Structure 1
């Protein structure tokens, strides 16, 4: 672990240096263009192999920002989270239960807040193009014949990693905005542009696929440095992109693209060194499924064989950054009488993972999916929906404040009692028979669904910094992509090729690991695959992208509104976000069209 920490220190310090000097897009003018005054610095940095490694560190630091804070308030510091652009406002996470600001505000009222002047949309668009520009600089300079490389393979691997991140950025952009400008060369003062054209999605994705194929050919199965992506990431994204281009809904599908999608996922699963975590990784209370999310187990170098990409953070290190996943995806639970009369749960018990702010909450529909894959009467509980994966209760400690009587037992509340989360009334707060412990059907619904102080939440990110349970940020490393997603992509490709039996086998690999009910060939449908992705990847998956990839606009709206009862006003125009007005205004030499249904009016999210 000391070796990992030292490597991370070097990586973060280098990332901070390179990112701050090289990869800054102009705040005024064209968001697709770098400041030309950084050109000399780029010449200096990209003159040695070590310089290119520093450049890659800076590039990865930009990718990590998806889970870091970007927006600020006067009293709380960073509170915005780019990850909510693809997690929130979907079928399995709503933002309508008291959350405010940034992307959460858009989902609470799509009709008035999803507008071209929204600050979060502008920030995300700019951040992704900064990432593209950073990648282009590396890709464009790696062929310099004056560089003394340590081996013939090194420049190919460096280019492959840069092209992977460029593909990663354009993947985000096409799912969020559809047609976008395609920039593939380093931007300098000589090629400054104000006449960008939004390329067709098929054109941009053809480039994504080309970049991912190059990455898959030249990246290693294991990360070149701690925290970097792997060949498995390239193959998994490649499978997804082939599926995205093969067709949506019930088809018709492009059979060749489906075959390529299956082959990419299959290569990752069968030829790579990755394996599902099926056995316990430590002796703590829990289950194998959740062990890989523990800070002590999360890294590939620590034995996490399922991880394809683990993002790194480090406290009190230049460039170490921090993440806000726990802060955004768990409730702010230290509120009197929210769980039961007379009870206040304290943040001070660090075993609870620290402070949350409820920027998003799991939908009741998503929680009840675990009831379908369990048989409580038979003692079969899907590990992914168990008390080890979803917070269902708090155990009272001497740090909590409590008084009165447990209405279920008739006895005064005492240390060691379990107080169940999301109970519909005081009598249920201590009653496991009608609580979330044995299923989620008894959860509150309607206006109380997703209560920002009293609602179940994922434990995948429930880790605070030791000694700082009230801080927004955390510095624990996190799995960003894992092999389970590759299995689900292979299952989808198999099903769409008419191989429902093979799809069932892949789904059952995950269900067996989770001790859940298995499925048969006849059970497999696209709906089942979408449900299984939610069960397995809750809080991890970029869910908006999955639904965009598999459903057309009418079905997208119908699917979400039938399952998300809190977020209001979703319509077919919201299948895409609006192009930020600042981008359209900066493109002064050529008119840039807006996505259908949007104007420049409205309040936005900030």
Structure 2
């Protein structure tokens, strides 16, 4: 189905606008204020703001294309597709097939521009002189929350596509004359939105409350500051990035997890793995490191608790149950299908010593026969041999961060865990990256050693501090969490690192990777439908 930048929400605006031109007997006064034309009261704005979180979840979930999480990992330095790939990820390691008709690029464009329009509706509404029942402070808070998400969407677009059409107001009708704004203009717009958001969003301990307590899942100023640090790094302003990251750390609102906590402390594990247990991920559940957690709910207990059956567990985990003598178990993270595997660089060269991030509780490398039926009595409890083709899918070493067993969904189709989108561990990494970019290698080593001390890893010195080392440390700390492709595109290192560290996979090797992949192709549908102006394509496509 063709999708273009003329966003669906604008069609509802047209519907109501056209209706208002009919005869007087059709000019009914609405009893609620939730459409864009009547977005003037606090309830309407609140409903629209909550909708932004729902839409954000659709950026991470796409069950029609189950390989969607792989798009952002395979063909980089950290992961490879397997023979159980789904298909949408193929152009992201077989780069010759990455073209302007690519489904992944089109999905990315679509999801983020829908977000832009949804946020523009809110910002336009709050700026409307007819909005008189909300205080100036209340207006600023509403605008700040919307502008954070608008900046989030535009940063995704700028990182992945470069200069893009800059839409600053809600669309009120079809538009087919878009042109790409210079990347500097897009960047300035993102920064302005985030500076406003950081100044007007609440402290994380001053967020709204409901009957269950503080709504830590709602936007707070530290979310804007963390994103602003990343943006400043991307646009070459590391001194400003350092200020933002340092301010988050110095706020005293967050602390690294260093002790066991939460729902599985009575079971084998460690304090790092506790952070990713279902029921432990939120600030309200004890995760003192969490800055932004996109909260999800089990749809069996909360209608609409997730969107479109997220596939992260199925993609990242091994398909161990395919081996005779193995059965699905909560202790093994539930049912996965092994659509990707960690690269040999990650598995065998990235971690050194007793780094907790490489412990058996964080990267599962061994499996033991667990089917108690009499048929397998002779092998029950013994280790599954790590040999042969099973090591590429069925018992491939894998991160445990997405594992969770839902007894309501034993087939394991949907992933119901929260998305930890920002945490203090990454703040230290952004800080160190900013310091390295300024030549402050001693300070960068100090920042990195905070994480390495927590991880029980060897300390590093100023002479170790390079951009490459920071990217290595990001992989150690954030494997399975970060959008690795975006990180390497942001830093301009995708081609060099992928080819140097992950070019020889035995099953699905990287091919055709050149510098053109530092930007994604502008979707062909967008170019063709934009008939009254030229929407230029990125080089090489």
Q: Same fold (TM over 0.5)?
A: yes
Partner of 1:71: 64
Partner of 1:252: none
Q: Alpha carbons of 1:127 and 1:212: their partners in 2 closer, same or farther (altered >3 Å)?
A: same
Contact 1:69 1:324 in 2 (8 A): yes
Partner of 1:558: 496
Partner of 1:237: 227
**Equivalent of 1:212, from 173, 183, 194?**
194
Q: Distance in 2 between matches of 1:451 and 1:294?
A: 25
Describe the superposition over 1:440-466 as per-residue Cα deviations: whole angstroms up to 9, x where unpaired: xxxxxxxx6971222111111101322
Q: Alpha carbons of 1:29 and 1:572: their partners in 2 closer, same or farther (altered >3 Å)?
A: closer
**Equivalent of 1:169, from 135, 138, 153?**
153
Q: Distance in 2 between matches of 1:93 and 1:100?
A: 15
Contact 1:161 1:215 in 2 (8 A): yes
Pair 1:346 & 2:327 matched: yes
Partner of 1:389: 362
- 470-479 or 174-183: bigger deviation: 470-479
Q: How does 1:510-521 map to 2 (within 5 A)?
A: 510-521=451-462
**Equivalent of 2:511, from 553, 568, 580?**
568
Gaps of 5+ in 2: 17-33, 209-214
Q: How does 1:216-231 map to 2 (within 5 A)?
A: 216-222=198-204, 223-224=207-208, 225-231=215-221
**Equivalent of 2:379, from 413, 428, 431?**
413
Aligned residues: 503
| Aligned-partner SS, 1:466 | coil
Contact 1:332 1:358 in 2 (8 A): yes
Partner of 1:13: none
Q: Alpha carbons of 1:80 and 1:31: their partners in 2 closer, same or farther (altered >3 Å)?
A: farther
Contact 2:433 2:467 in 1 (8 A): yes
**Equivalent of 1:111, from 63, 82, 96?**
96
Deviation at 1:497, TM superposition (A): 1.5
Q: How does 1:286-297 map to 2 (within 5 A)?
A: 286-297=269-280
Partner of 2:85: 99
Q: Alpha carbons of 1:133 and 1:272: their partners in 2 closer, same or farther (altered >3 Å)?
A: farther
With the length of structure 2 as denominator, give the TM-score of the two structures.
0.87
Deviation at 1:469, TM superposition (A): 2.8
Q: Distance in 2 between matches of 1:228 and 1:450?
A: 41
| Aligned-partner SS, 1:290 | helix
Q: Distance in 1 between matches of 2:134 and 2:167?
A: 30
Pair 1:178 & 2:162 matched: yes
Pair 1:398 & 2:385 matched: no
Contact 1:344 1:401 in 2 (8 A): no
Deviation at 1:576, TM superposition (A): 1.4
Q: Distance in 1 between matches of 2:38 and 2:289?
A: 35
Q: Distance in 1 between matches of 2:444 and 2:375?
A: 50
Q: Distance in 2 between matches of 1:450 and 1:147?
A: 61
Partner of 2:28: none
**Equivalent of 2:177, from 168, 182, 195?**
195
**Equivalent of 1:308, from 286, 291, 300?**
291
| Aligned-partner SS, 2:127 | coil
| Aligned-partner SS, 2:338 | coil
Q: Distance in 2 between matches of 1:355 and 1:49?
A: 43
Pair 1:53 & 2:46 matched: yes
Contact 2:325 2:376 in 1 (8 A): no
Partner of 2:22: none
Contact 2:180 2:535 in 1 (8 A): yes
Partner of 2:25: none
**Equivalent of 1:122, from 106, 109, 114?**
106
Contact 2:5 2:113 in 1 (8 A): no
Q: Alpha carbons of 1:238 and 1:35: their partners in 2 closer, same or farther (altered >3 Å)?
A: closer
Partner of 2:471: 530
Q: Distance in 2 between matches of 1:325 and 1:64?
A: 12
Deviation at 1:483, TM superposition (A): 0.9
Q: Alpha carbons of 1:597 and 1:217: their partners in 2 closer, same or farther (altered >3 Å)?
A: same
Q: Alpha carbons of 1:127 and 1:401: their partners in 2 closer, same or farther (altered >3 Å)?
A: farther
Q: Distance in 2 between matches of 1:232 and 1:578?
A: 32
Q: Distance in 2 between matches of 1:326 and 1:206?
A: 37
**Equivalent of 2:423, from 474, 482, 494?**
482
Describe the superposition over 1:71-95 as per-residue Cα deviations: whole angstroms up to 9, x where unpaired: 25xxxxxx253x4443332111222
Describe the superposition over 1:451-501 as per-residue Cα deviations: whole angstroms up to 9, x where unpaired: 122211111110132242312212222312111111101011112222111
Pair 1:507 & 2:448 matched: yes
Partner of 1:328: 315
Q: Distance in 2 between matches of 1:484 and 1:506?
A: 10
Q: Alpha carbons of 1:97 and 1:527: their partners in 2 closer, same or farther (altered >3 Å)?
A: farther
Partner of 1:90: 76
Contact 1:345 1:400 in 2 (8 A): no
Contact 1:345 1:401 in 2 (8 A): no
Q: Distance in 1 between matches of 2:244 and 2:164?
A: 26
Partner of 1:431: none
Contact 2:198 2:224 in 1 (8 A): yes
Partner of 1:445: none
| Aligned-partner SS, 2:337 | coil
**Equivalent of 2:258, from 278, 281, 301?**
278
Contact 2:257 2:272 in 1 (8 A): yes
Partner of 2:436: 495
Deviation at 1:370, TM superposition (A): 4.4
Q: Distance in 1 between matches of 2:368 and 2:75?
A: 31
Describe the superposition over 1:523-576 as per-residue Cα deviations: whole angstroms up to 9, x where unpaired: 21221111000000001111112212222xxx5312211222323221222221
Partner of 1:452: 393
Coordinate RMSD, CA, aligned: 2.3
Contact 2:350 2:472 in 1 (8 A): no
Describe the superposition over 1:291-313 as per-residue Cα deviations: whole angstroms up to 9, x where unpaired: 11112211111221100111122
Contact 1:346 1:400 in 2 (8 A): no
Contact 1:487 1:506 in 2 (8 A): yes
Contact 1:96 1:567 in 2 (8 A): no
